[in-house]
């Protein structure tokens, strides 16, 4: 593998490590500042959402700047700032500083946009789906390393995971400083305009494209459903199965292992066999029923079995990403990836709030008198099944 692709994959892994490394110990950190369990549950959702809000706002800006100045400087600066930010959160003396650090983490985490544009720059039609599959594997690796380290170190001291995340980002910055070449030639760059930094205008431009609208709707639905796991996993497994931080970390590591195996190894084979369009359709259907069964599971071992079975359907993401990227020229890849990531961030804003509020309501005494801790996953089932319905209709009309 070329050093440049290795760097990009490491960067993508670090984005997921930054999320996963704090999930196992985050409930304990919040309890240090908040005594009310229900308020702590709701704050957990807000803490995850604020990260996504900042990514939503920053991703079009970083994408546009990378279309203008190149991918390399944006990636390197974001890694440097991420390293500094995790140091700030590690020593946060109160909840305000902790949330402020999460705001900065969201800004730097938007480098996902630029990393995906870099992959598109260096890919061709023959290896595009494979490369996007590798990006999924990188996310999976991040979910292996992040929760495993977070669960282990968080059990010793909840601040240690932040320090490790800081060191990882700073080391990757140093690595990229020496080995990362620019992927976007000057002749393919475009002039920076103010309209490009407005996430709503950028989204409006793409959503106004009737040919691509169905792609974006499917992408949003899959992302909204998919965010249920990181939004509720710690709270759900701790409450329903009494899992400890180390057990939560171990289970998330299994998520990462299956993601790495599926998207890094199986994705090219499945797409070669079914084609990108059918992979999206069957992946959306499999994901939807996977969420349904996650909500119905009443034993901890069932969670592991479901993770193994449903992981094969995670190939829908890279297949859809490849289909969308083919529709846009190189000079607009940064804006495209920024807008796609804005959709992902929007899903990441909404899902934690919806999931944690639903979980808090249905896990405690409520006005309906119904205890339904799997409610967040039932919501995810409906959303993912909507993506499947859209994909089927689009395929029938030959637009997908």
Joined together, the tokens standing for residue 208 give 């106004």
Q: Distance (Å, rounded) from C-alpha 115 to C-alpha 135? A: 9
Joined together, the tokens standing for residue 285 give 């259907």
- pTM (2 decimals)? 0.67
Q: What per-residue confidence (pLDDT) applies to 11?
A: 80
Q: Distance (Å, rounded) from C-alpha 303 to C-alpha 193? A: 47
pLDDT digits (tens, 9 = 90+) for 143-201: 677 777 777 787 788 778 888 888 888 888 888 888 888 888 887 877 776 666 666 77
With tokens 């490590």, the residue in question is 17
Residues in the chain predicted with pLDDT less than 50, given as ranges, are none
pLDDT digits (tens, 9 = 90+) for 3-55: 777 788 888 887 777 767 777 777 777 777 777 766 777 777 777 778 778 87
Q: What's 331's DSSP letter?
A: G
| Helix, coil or strand: residue 22 | coil
Beta carbons within 10 angstroms of residue 177's beta carbon = 12
Phi, psi of 142 (to 5 degrees): -60, -35
Dihedral (Cα; 62, 64, 69, 74), 10-degree rounding: 10
Average model confidence (pLDDT) across the chain: 81
Distance of CA 42 to the CA centre of its chain: 20
Q: Distance (Å, rounded) from C-alpha 14 to C-alpha 143? A: 9
Domains of the chain: residue spans and CATH: 3-178+208-396 (1.20.1250.20)
- CA neighbor of 176 nearest in space, from 77, 108, 61, 67: 77
Alpha-helical segments (H) within 242-374: 245-261, 267-274, 276-296, 300-310, 316-325, 333-363
Q: What per-residue confidence (pLDDT) applies to 248?
A: 79
Q: Distance (Å, rounded) from C-alpha 121 to C-alpha 131? A: 11
- CA neighbor of 77 nearest in space, from 22, 161, 11: 11
């Amino acid at each position: 593998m070329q050093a440049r692709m290795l760097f990009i994959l490491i960067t993508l892994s670090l984005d997921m490590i930054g999320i996963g490394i704090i999930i196992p110990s985050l409930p304990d950190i919040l309890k240090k500042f908040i005594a009310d369990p229900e308020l702590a549950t709701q704050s957990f959702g807000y803490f995850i959402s604020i990260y996504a809000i900042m990514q939503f706002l920053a991703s079009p800006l970083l994408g546009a700047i990378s279309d203008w100045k190149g991918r390399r400087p944006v990636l390197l600066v974001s890694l440097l700032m991420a390293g500094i930010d995790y140091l700030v959160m590690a020593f946060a003396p109160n909840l305000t500083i902790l949330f402020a650090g999460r705001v900065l983490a969201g800004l730097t985490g938007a480098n996902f946009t630029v990393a995906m544009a870099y992959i598109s720059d260096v890919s061709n039609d023959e290896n595009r789906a494979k490369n996007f599959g590798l990006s999924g594997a990188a996310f999976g690796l991040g979910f292996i390393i992040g929760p495993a380290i977070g669960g282990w170190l968080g059990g010793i001291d909840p601040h240690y995971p932040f320090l490790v995340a800081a060191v990882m980002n700073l080391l990757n910055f140093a690595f990229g400083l020496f080995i990362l070449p620019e992927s976007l030639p000057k002749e393919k760059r475009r002039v920076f305009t103010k309209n490009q930094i407005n996430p709503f205008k950028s989204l409006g431009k793409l959503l106004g494209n009737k040919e691509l609208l169905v792609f974006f709707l499917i992408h949003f639905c899959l992302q909204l459903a998919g965010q249920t796991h990181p939004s509720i996993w710690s709270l759900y497994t701790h409450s329903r199965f009494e899992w400890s931080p180390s057990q939560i970390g171990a289970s998330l590591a299994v998520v990462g292992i299956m993601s790495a195996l599926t998207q890094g190894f199986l994705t090219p084979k499945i797409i070669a066999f079914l084609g990108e369009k059918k992979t999206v359709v069957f992946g959306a259907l499999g994901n939807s029923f996977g969420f349904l069964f996650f909500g119905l599971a009443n034993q901890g071992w069932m969670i592991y079995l479901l993770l193994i079975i449903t992981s094969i359907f995670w190939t829908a993401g890279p297949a859809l990403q490849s289909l969308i990227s083919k529709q846009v020229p190189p000079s607009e890849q940064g804006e495209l990836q920024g807008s796609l990531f804005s959709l992902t961030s929007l899903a990441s804003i909404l899902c934690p709030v919806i999931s944690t509020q639903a979980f808090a309501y249905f896990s405690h005494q409520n006005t309906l008198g119904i205890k339904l801790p799997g409610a967040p996953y039932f919501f995810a089932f409906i959303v993912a099944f909507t993506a499947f319905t859209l994909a089927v209709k689009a395929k029938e009309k030959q637009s997908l």
